Amino acid sequence: MSEALQTAVARQRLLLRGRLSGLLERLALQARADWPDRAALERLLVAALPSLPSCKYLYVLDRDAHQITANASPQGLLPEHLGRDRRDRPYLAEALAGERFSLSPVYISRNARRPSLTAIQRIEDEAGGWLGFLGADFDLRELPLTRELYQPSGDWVQLKGDPAIRGGLFSQQRVESLMDARIDEVMALLVELMTAHGVFHGKLHFSSSRATLWTLDDPYRYRLLDYEDLADPGICLAYSYRAYPSEAAIPESRVAEVFHTFRELRFMDETIYLRSGSLNIFNGMVGLNFSCDGSHYMPWDEFLRKSLGFWLGTGEICG
């Protein structure tokens, strides 16, 4: 997981922990007074649910993690969970190790098969003795999170591909595709579409002679162009003129350089060569996939600083 994504997840967990720990601690204190009366505990759980509007299930476990109440849910009590042994569930690991309050990592629930998490609060007697646990299950869809969209770092990322392809790399060589034969015309067309016709993300698949495009006018659906489309400059008539966006991370004048470098990487070697290349003008990221199935994502300016010698001479392509 990237550092930026880890930070975003950690922040949400911190907010949740702050919201839930106090509520469950107060509820655990009330449960102490009713321990171990099942009926009284269940009445307490049902009454407490409105104070936890995003909670899916509330339940009480003994100190061995056996469930001694039904699940309290917004639909009522679910007695089929009474007696359930939860010791092997990952969300109880910290609690069984002695933590007074723990918030599990996100997991896929057994029944609904949806991302969920569980908060566990230890229940103690007046002397601090360990009685059991209060458990609260949450469906991530229903949690009151801030959920600001995290911002990726924009650093260069390298990913290894299929080991079977890497293992057979030197027994293959590039076969000229239809796009290769007219690559200069195709590149010029893509540059025109991205700088003057509202295409903000374009990906060229050189080996299969096709392109996938995302446009400002219809950003939720991509367009697929085959070789016949790419070989006809007249397709520009099907895309309205759009001024180059001022919010773009890459200057309009540098877009052509990126595609020219794609061309160089495509023909740099008969064994190690570019299979596909993409550019997103808003985040300025270039995506590359090579014949060894290694993939790279990097900022456009860092990409343009790399020489062909770098790609061929360091082994960075295939990791």
State the DSSP string of 4-46.
HHHHHHHHHHHHHHHHHHHHHHHHHHHHHHHTT-HHHHHHHHH
Please check whether residue 2 lies inside any domain of the structure: no
Looking at the fold, whether 103 and 193 belong to one and the same domain comes out as no
The residue written with tokens 């001024």 in the block is 243
Integer Cα distance of 205 and 290 in angstroms: 11
- The CATH number assigned to the domain holding 27 equals 3.30.450.20
Looking at the fold, whether 189 and 63 belong to one and the same domain comes out as no
Residue 79: how many CB atoms within 10 A of its CB?
A: 11
Please check whether residue 148 lies inside any domain of the structure: no
Looking at the fold, whether 165 and 125 belong to one and the same domain comes out as no
- List for the chain the helix, strand, coil content (%; round to 5): 40, 25, 35
Backbone angles phi, psi at 76, to 5 degrees: 120, -165
pLDDT in tens, 98-151: 999 999 988 888 777 888 899 999 999 999 999 999 999 998 887 766 556 556
Number of domain units in the chain:
2
pLDDT in tens, 229-256: 999 999 999 999 999 999 999 999 999 9
Looking at the fold, whether 128 and 190 belong to one and the same domain comes out as no
N-term to C-term CA, the chain: 18
Please check whether residue 40 lies inside any domain of the structure: yes
Percent of the chain residues past pLDDT 90, beyond the cut: 67
Which of 89, 108, 142 finishes a domain? Answer: 142
pLDDT in tens, 13-42: 888 888 889 999 999 999 999 999 999 999
Integer Cα distance of 193 and 236 in angstroms: 7
The residue among 65, 83, 39, 78 whose CA lies nearest residue 122 is 65
Looking at the fold, whether 78 and 22 belong to one and the same domain comes out as yes
Looking at the fold, whether 219 and 74 belong to one and the same domain comes out as no
Looking at the fold, whether 87 and 193 belong to one and the same domain comes out as no
| Structural domain that includes position 100 | 12-142
Please check whether residue 147 lies inside any domain of the structure: no
Contacts (Cβ under 8 Å, ≥6 apart) of 199? 190, 193, 213, 214, 215, 216, 239
Please check whether residue 223 lies inside any domain of the structure: yes
Adjacent-strand bridge partners of 123: 132
Please check whether residue 152 lies inside any domain of the structure: no
Looking at the fold, whether 184 and 301 belong to one and the same domain comes out as yes
Which of 114, 142, 170 finishes a domain? Answer: 142
Looking at the fold, whether 115 and 169 belong to one and the same domain comes out as no
Looking at the fold, whether 49 and 88 belong to one and the same domain comes out as yes
Please check whether residue 246 lies inside any domain of the structure: yes
Integer Cα distance of 279 and 37 in angstroms: 64
Looking at the fold, whether 299 and 170 belong to one and the same domain comes out as yes
Q: Which helix (H) or strand (E) holds 256?
A: helix 252-267
Tokens of 304: 């343009």
With 0-12 / 13-18 / 19 or more C-beta atoms within 10 angstroms meaning exposed / middle / buried, residue 116 is buried
Which of 92, 118, 142 finishes a domain? Answer: 142
Q: Is the separation of the CB atoms in 91 and 110 below 8 Å?
A: no
Looking at the fold, whether 40 and 97 belong to one and the same domain comes out as yes
Please check whether residue 77 lies inside any domain of the structure: yes
pLDDT confidence tier of residue 86, bands split at 50, 70 and 90? very high
pLDDT in tens, 190-229: 999 999 999 999 999 999 999 999 999 999 999 999 999 9
SS3 state at 83: coil
Q: Nearest 5°: CA angle at 70, between 67 and 73?
A: 125
